[in-house]
Amino acid sequence: SQGSDRFEIITFKNAFHGRTMATISASNQEKMHKSFLPLLEGFKYVDFDDLEGAKAAVGPKTAAFLVEPIQGEGGVRPASDAFMQGLRALADEHGIMLILDEVQCGVARSGTLYAYEQYGIIPDIMATAKGLGGGFPVGACLATEEAARGMVVGTHGSTYGGNPFAMAACQAVWDVVANEEFLAQVRSTGEKLRSTLEQFIGNYPDLFTGVRGKGLMLGVMMTHETRAFVAHLRDNHGLLLVAAGDNTFRVLPPLNIGDAEIQTFMEKLSAGAASYQMPQAA
């Protein structure tokens, strides 16, 4: 069939795609590769948000681009509109697939049901999980009819795939989040939280440099590596945040938080910033 000799997937630096052999190989992070060598072949790594780099990497063996519309582990870095639309155009031009990993940014987290909607594009294949089950472990791979034509009966199986309990959990989540009222609430809460954070970080220019993200997937950028600060907030102020790459920590609250939770969060963050001793440079 056409394209059967194409096997290379172009992925992007500082991505996180998972912990299987293939998804470890898809990420260019050496800390993930350690103890799992040799890796699978067939991946090329390009700088995130670098459309020219992606264009230059396409060759006769290229089958697909694999990208997070918003890098989570990499530092809550949203791709630019030009990059996502450019990848879609490149994929169409060369007859290759655009695969989106929306495991972290999907299921309303970014303020739309899936982040790709905010870029005005449609992927060929998309991975979704995490929020999909509202805490119940479940994942799904969605594909267009064209992209899925190779997945005939017998090509793929999964011991727990489609089990009724997981499907019921997904349906319960979908009943709540897959409507415009809920999504509008996520967007307005996200804007409120973001503007509150932006005002706050102005008080600590020696600690923080900015806020980025979409919806309730926000990242606060720091002047130095974040893990000590995240540990300080957890151990001394009872506040749970997640460290990420690029000197950023993630703020990923439940999608149904209200003003009271935002106020409590900001009080703890403020107290934590005030009591934090920045590590001395070696």
Q: Is residue 3 part of a domain?
A: no
Choosing from 177, 199, 221, the residue where a domain stops is: 177
- SS3 per-residue string spanning the chain: CCCCCCCEEEEECCCCCCCCHHHHHHCCCHHHHCCCCCCCCCEEEECCCCHHHHHHHCCCCEEEEEECCEECCCCCEECCHHHHHHHHHHHHHHCCEEEEECCCCCCCCCCCCCHHHHHCCCCCEEEECHHHHCCCCCCEEEECCCCCCCCCCCCCCCCCCCCHHHHHHHHHHHHHHCCHHHHHHHHHHHHHHHHHHHHHHCCCCCCEEEEEEECCEEEEEECCCCHHHHHHHHHHHCCCCEEECCCEEEECCCCCCCHHHHHHHHHHHHHHHHHCCCCCCC
Q: Is residue 35 part of a domain?
A: yes
Q: Is residue 2 part of a domain?
A: no
pLDDT of residue 1: 42
Span 216-260, pLDDT tens digits: 999 999 999 999 999 999 999 999 999 999 999 999 999 999 999
Q: Is 135 found in the same domain as 261? A: no
Choosing from 156, 177, 198, the residue where a domain stops is: 177
Choosing from 135, 153, 177, the residue where a domain stops is: 177
Q: Is 21 found in the same domain as 106? A: yes
Please list the ranges in the chain whose pLDDT falls under 50.
Answer: 1
pLDDT of residue 37: 86
Range of the domain at 203: 180-275
